[in-house]
Structure 1
Amino acid sequence: MVVAYGTDMGNAEDAAMSFAEATTAAGIPAEAVELNQVEIDSLSTTTHFIAVTSTFGDGEFPDTATLFWEAISASTERLEHMSFAVLALGDTSYELFCNAGILLDARLEELGATRLADRVDVDGYYEEPAAAWTTDLVKQLIAAQAGPTAQAVTVIESTPADPPHRSQERNQPVAAPLLVNRLLTSTDSDKEVRHYELDLTGSGIAYQAGDSLAVHPLNDPDLVAAILTELKVGPEHRLPDADESLGVLLAERLEIRTPSRALQELAGPAAYGEDVLDLIRRADLTVEEIVDTLRPLQFRDYSIASSPLVHPDHVHLTVATVRYPAGERRHGGVASTYLAERTQTVRVHPRPNTHFDVPIIMIGPGTGIAPFRAFLQDRQAAAAPGRSWLFFGDRRRATDFLYGEELTGFAESGTLTRLDVAFSRDQDAKVYVQQRMRENSAELFAWLQDGAHLYVCGDADRMAKDVDAALHEIVATSGGMDADAAHAYVNDLIKTHRYLRDVY
């Protein structure tokens, strides 16, 4: 049996590891591995294939699964001997909900494999549906292993349905005082990026450079009040079987900024940027119909911008405040405006991430600088050896050079071996980080040949794709390779965790 996962933020990995623990405890040893670590040839001797995958970007596989998907998409080997099950994690606010899991499930069927169970698509919080999925599959696997007598077998009590579940503990927030809320960009900038410092004293939270922090926000009270007014009910209104008032549900429990797919099916599709209030203003729906469609309010992840070696009891965040017009109203991001305007205490929990190695090439335009600031603080405090190279970009040096003095100081002290910047609006022709990469193509490839790890953090829609294209081009031109060989070279970087992306 192979248990494999494709993960971006760790949820799919956690669910797969819990599944493997449950089967092992039931007498069927298993270990969860990245999908990229599964060789296609090994499927010829695999009788059971269990996969958990999230979906990234525009319906794509996460980086930890892209190589496997590429290989199985091209494979012609039949898999009639294999049974499989897929758990897909996603978010219905995205058009291609759970698309990676859907594609993998369909491809395994195309190659002749037999489903152990129908694919389960999970929206948002995954722990309970993942635990139920695990319990059902473990029962089937015990039955398959033991034969007809297995009908009398009781599934072990420690399956995730009664969890020793890491994510349950990991996702429990603690309150941290917000000590610093400082504007990083100039007041002349057309962006608003803020620096936050939270006090972790007594919280029990320990972190490392490269980790992220989950912020549990509350919704904008003005938006909550407007929705209640539109629904013609007060905040104390209580739905049947509800444990809390509607005011509490809308403020603290439900996602009202991004309309769910279920609400859009009832009220009509949302235009870009519209929220729940926009939709209910044009729909004739009852309070119950609307509330039943809303998803749980989810935490938001932010890369940590500080080192515990420098700030052991504090954690720093770098957050762009989202504000935009839609229709006749101003809208704002849930967590970013919550941090900027509405709180002095923040409920948070840590999210461990991959740790940085050296030598390292860092590409972090805009707020993507956050984890690299943490790494550089870490490296300076520990007087760590090894080379480091940072590519930073934003719109204008005068208004948007986030942590500019610190980064320049790191370069001057030697903590940062090289600093290359690109400010797109400071000249007629726009310049981005990927162009700085191409300008230094030969040296960048030489660093990779010397074993450098390359990390990318920031915007997923354009920057990450443009940087990836530039990387393939650099490997091809400076490495003297054709397109296929360059593709294989970059794939090897991904597989060996030397090319990692934290993009959003």
Structure 2
Amino acid sequence: MSERTIAAVALVLAWVVFTGVLVRRRPGVAEVHEDGGILVVHASQTGFATELASRTADVIHAGGLGVDLRGMDALTPAMLERASRVLFIVSTTGEGDAPDVASLFRERVMRAPLALQGTRYGILALGDRDYVDFCAFGRDLDQWLHAGGAAPLFDRVDVDNGDEGALRHWQHHVAHLAGATAMEDWSRPAYRRWRLAERRLLNPGSVGGRCYHVALVPEDERDLAWEAGDIVEIGPRRARGDDTVLPHREYSIASLPADGALHLVVRQMRAEDGTLGFGSGWLTMHALVGDPVDVRVRRNAGFHAPADDRPVLLIGNGTGIAGLRALLKARLARGHLRNWVIYGERHAAVDRLHVDELERWHAAGDIERLDLVWSRETRGARYVQDRLRIAADGLRRFMDEGASIYVCGSLAGMAPGVDGVLRDVLGDAAVSELAAAGRYRRDVY
């Protein structure tokens, strides 16, 4: 047996052992098969698929059936082959990629069909039609299940940017399946009323889009409750006094509840005709300081900081500083100082999106290593992925010490570039293992 084959076998065995860890179960697998219950599997990048999976499990439970709820990182081929009915709630990230928690399943299990002739399934695929590969992972999963002989319980339900009509359609299917048809329709939890407390231009003179620090305060102080890494949903308006319902927009939170306000870093986005985007237009121009803002905070456990004091590598660019800033604040509040930050923007003099804060933390020893990359001022390592490649030896040492990696920022260029460097330096299998173990986490857009 070749060394490559031995290594591959070892990786598969390690993955099988790892996927024996349950994320959440209600009740166990044996009970599900005994009472005709349903296996519910979720794969989420920002936490929304996990939330919907929990709601789906509640509907099944209300119908009197057993339900086994688990993340795709805790799903094994044997579980699928034993299951008679499976519901998948999965999102798509990047350029049609599976969420990070599902990357190992896709690479190891979805490489070839399983024998699933006795399995019936349903898929709720989450995506955004603004991206070319709309719901790509959900579609790939559908084709893979079909190739293994599994039969659909109903047509795949594709959801565009949280569309409530599509979610109600899914709920109807699930309720009918579970015999719980009397349940009220789902709707997103209601927005809470907050107010715009501060808006400050962060990059005057930049050649890029105007970028603002935005601070929101709740009318009810009990709403100051979230963890670093969570997501905020904003209900935008066209202008003051215009109550037209517009699609919600999501932003990485840049602060902690202890700061007394929810901070955002918002770049003005413009369409080809020059009109401002819904969310950025509302937050950076239309709403005035003191105006009400519709806010909903959504838990995103997949981007929370580690509870222990392990080393952490934080990589980002542009408005990705928001998510990195919150994670750093959480780390510093716990006294965890083994932080390496690689952050990039255009010009050092004007594109300082909270960079002064990073430099103060570094000078105080709260950040162990700080690499700032200015793309318009450097001939060689112009981008964060270039700086990461140059620091390959330091990256290997950091990972050998048990570090976790967090990436926040641009989906175009930065995120795939960083991923490519990680795979070149650490190896494809190692990066997939890191993602499955929660040591490689991304909030990219």
* TM-score, with length taken from structure 1: 0.74
C-alpha distance in 2 between matches for 1:77 and 1:100: 17
The aligned residue for residue 248 of structure 2 is 299
Q: Unmatched 5+ residue regions in structure 2? A: 1-37
The SS at the match of 2:422 is helix
The aligned residue for residue 456 of structure 1 is 407
How far 1:155 moved relative to its partner? 2.7
Amino acid corresponding to residue 67 of structure 1 in structure 2: L
Please give the residue correspondences for 1:403-482 in structure 2 after superposition, counting only pairs within 5 Å.
403-429=354-380, 431-475=382-426
8 A Cα contact 1:472 1:487, kept in partner: yes
> Are 1:65 and 2:102 an aligned pair?
yes
> Are 1:497 and 2:441 an aligned pair?
no
Q: For 1:422-451, what per-residue CA distance to the aligned partner results, in whole angstroms no more than 9, with x for missing partners?
A: 111113345111122122212212221222
Moved more, 428-437 or 444-453: 428-437
> Are 1:487 and 2:432 an aligned pair?
no
The SS at the match of 1:371 is helix
Residues 93 and 422 of structure 1: CA distance in aligned 2, closer, same or farther (over 3 Å): closer
Percent identity at matched positions?
32
Residue number among 199, 206, 214 corresponding to 1:196 in the alignment: 214
The aligned residue for residue 387 of structure 1 is 338
Please give the residue correspondences for 1:215-254 in structure 2 after superposition, counting only pairs within 5 Å.
215-219=234-238, 252-253=244-245
Amino acid corresponding to residue 8 of structure 1 in structure 2: Q
Amino acid corresponding to residue 333 of structure 1 in structure 2: G
How far 1:174 moved relative to its partner? 2.2
8 A Cα contact 2:46 2:231, kept in partner: no
> Are 1:209 and 2:221 an aligned pair?
no
C-alpha distance in 1 between matches for 2:127 and 2:355: 36
Amino acid corresponding to residue 370 of structure 2 in structure 1: L
How far 1:58 moved relative to its partner? 3.0
* TM-score, with length taken from structure 2: 0.83
The SS at the match of 2:419 is helix
How far 1:420 moved relative to its partner? 0.8
C-alpha distance in 2 between matches for 1:440 and 1:13: 35
The aligned residue for residue 180 of structure 2 is 155
Q: For 1:144-187, what per-residue CA distance to the aligned partner results, in whole angstroms no more than 9, with x for missing partners?
A: xxxxxxxxxx5374xxx426x6x733xx2222221211111132
Moved more, 394-403 or 462-471: 394-403
The SS at the match of 2:357 is helix
The aligned residue for residue 369 of structure 1 is 321
Moved more, 203-212 or 455-464: 203-212
> Are 1:122 and 2:149 an aligned pair?
no
How far 1:127 moved relative to its partner? 4.8
The SS at the match of 1:78 is coil
Moved more, 5-14 or 347-356: 5-14
How far 1:305 moved relative to its partner? 1.0
How far 1:412 moved relative to its partner? 0.9
Residues 41 and 474 of structure 1: CA distance in aligned 2, closer, same or farther (over 3 Å): same
Amino acid corresponding to residue 99 of structure 2 in structure 1: P
Amino acid corresponding to residue 75 of structure 2 in structure 1: V
- What is the alpha-carbon root mean square deviation over aligned residues? 2.3
How far 1:68 moved relative to its partner? 2.1
Residue number among 283, 287, 296 corresponding to 1:343 in the alignment: 287
How far 1:71 moved relative to its partner? 2.9
C-alpha distance in 1 between matches for 2:305 and 2:239: 36
Amino acid corresponding to residue 491 of structure 1 in structure 2: S
8 A Cα contact 1:50 1:84, kept in partner: yes
Amino acid corresponding to residue 235 of structure 2 in structure 1: H
How far 1:29 moved relative to its partner? 2.0
The aligned residue for residue 96 of structure 1 is 133
Amino acid corresponding to residue 234 of structure 2 in structure 1: V
How far 1:51 moved relative to its partner? 0.7
Residues 155 and 200 of structure 1: CA distance in aligned 2, closer, same or farther (over 3 Å): closer
The SS at the match of 1:301 is strand
Amino acid corresponding to residue 280 of structure 2 in structure 1: S
Residues 11 and 208 of structure 1: CA distance in aligned 2, closer, same or farther (over 3 Å): closer
Q: For 1:305-342, what per-residue CA distance to the aligned partner results, in whole angstroms no more than 9, with x for missing partners?
A: 11223x1x211111111236x3xx42222111211111
C-alpha distance in 2 between matches for 1:99 and 1:92: 11
The SS at the match of 2:212 is strand
Q: For 1:258-303, what per-residue CA distance to the aligned partner results, in whole angstroms no more than 9, with x for missing partners?
A: xxxxxxxxxxxxxxxxxxxxxxxxxxxxxxxxxxxxxxx2111111
The SS at the match of 1:330 is coil
The SS at the match of 1:349 is strand
Amino acid corresponding to residue 438 of structure 2 in structure 1: H
8 A Cα contact 1:379 1:415, kept in partner: no
How far 1:132 moved relative to its partner? 4.2
The aligned residue for residue 321 of structure 1 is 268
C-alpha distance in 2 between matches for 1:194 and 1:209: 20
How far 1:490 moved relative to its partner? 1.1
Q: Unmatched 5+ residue regions in structure 1? A: 143-153, 222-246, 254-296, 476-485
Number of residue pairs aligned between Structure 1 and Structure 2 = 399
Residue number among 183, 188, 191 corresponding to 1:168 in the alignment: 188
Residues 364 and 94 of structure 1: CA distance in aligned 2, closer, same or farther (over 3 Å): closer
8 A Cα contact 1:40 1:71, kept in partner: no
